[in-house]
A and B are shown apart, each in its own frame.
Chain A
Amino acid sequence: MKTIMDEKKVVKAPRPEEKKKEGNTVYSIENFNLWYGKDQALKDIKFNIPEKQVTAIIGPSGCGKSTFIKALNRMVEMVPIVKMSGDINYRGKNIFDNKYKVEDLRTKVGMVFQKPNPFPKSIYENVVYGPKIHGIKNKKVLDEIVEKSLKGAALWEEVKDRLNENAYGLSGGQQQRLCIARCLAIEPDVILMDEPTSALDPISTLKVEELVQELKKEFSIIIVTHNMQQAARISDKTAFFLNGEVVEYSDTNQLFSNPTDKRTEDYITGRFG
Chain B
Amino acid sequence: MQGSVRQMIKDKKEKQQSRSKIVEKLVPGFLLLCAIISVLTTLGIVFTLIVETITFFNHVSIIEYFTSKDWYPFFESDPDYGIWPLISGTLLITGIAMLVAVPFGLGAAIYLSEYATDRVRRIIKPILEVLAGIPTIVYGFFALTFVTPVLQNVIPSLPVFNALSPGIVIGIMIIPMIASLSEDAMSSVPNAIREGALGLGATRFEVAVKVVLPAALSGIVASVVLAISRAIGETMIVTVAGGATPKLTFDVTESIQTMTSYIVQVSLGDAGYGTTIYYSIYAVGMTLFLFTLIMNLVAQYISRRFREEY
Contacts and interface: CB of A to CB of B under 8 A. Distances in A.
A106 B200 contact: yes
Interface stretch (B72-80, B133-141, B209-217, B258-266): B209-217
B196 interface: yes
A75 interface: yes
B274 interface: no
A166 B309 contact: yes
A252 B59 CA distance: 93
A80 B309 contact: no
A134 B190 CA distance: 23
Nearest to B199: A111
Contacts of A118: 196
Given A80-B117, A133-B206, A117 B201 contact: no
A182 B196 contact: yes
Nearest to B117: A80
A172 B190 CA distance: 17
A152 to B, nearest CB: 15
B286 interface: no
A129 B200 contact: yes
B159 to A, nearest CB: 49
Given A75-B195, A117-B195, A133-B210, A183 B200 contact: yes
Interface in B197-236: 197-203, 206, 210-211, 214-215
Q: Of residues B198, B206, B211, B214, which shows the largest number of chain A Cβ atoms within 10 Å of its Cβ?
A: B198
B193 A120 contact: yes
A54 interface: no
Interface in B296-310: 308-310
B305 to A, nearest CB: 14
B34 interface: no
A73 B199 contact: yes
A106 B215 contact: no
A104 B200 contact: no
Interface range on chain B: under 10, 10 to 19, 20 to 34, or 35 or more? 20 to 34
Given A104-B201, A110-B200, A183-B200, A119 B195 contact: no
A154 interface: no
Contacts of B206: 133
B194 to A, nearest CB: 9
A106 B199 contact: yes
B215 A182 contact: no
Contacts of A103: 201-203
A267 interface: no
A222 B206 CA distance: 26
B203 to A, nearest CB: 6
A115 B201 contact: no
Given A104-B201, A106-B200, A117 B193 contact: yes
A117 B190 CA distance: 9
Interface in B170-200: 190, 192-193, 195-200
Q: Of residues B190, B210, B215, which shows the largest number of chain A Cβ atoms within 10 Å of its Cβ?
A: B210
B116 to A, nearest CB: 12
Contacts of B199: 73, 75, 106, 110-111, 113, 183
Top 7 nearest A-B pairs (CB, nearest first) are: A107-B201, A117-B192, A111-B199, A120-B308, A130-B200, A106-B201, A120-B310
9 contacts: A104-B201, A110-B200, A113-B192, A113-B195, A117-B190, A117-B192, A119-B197, A130-B200, A183-B200
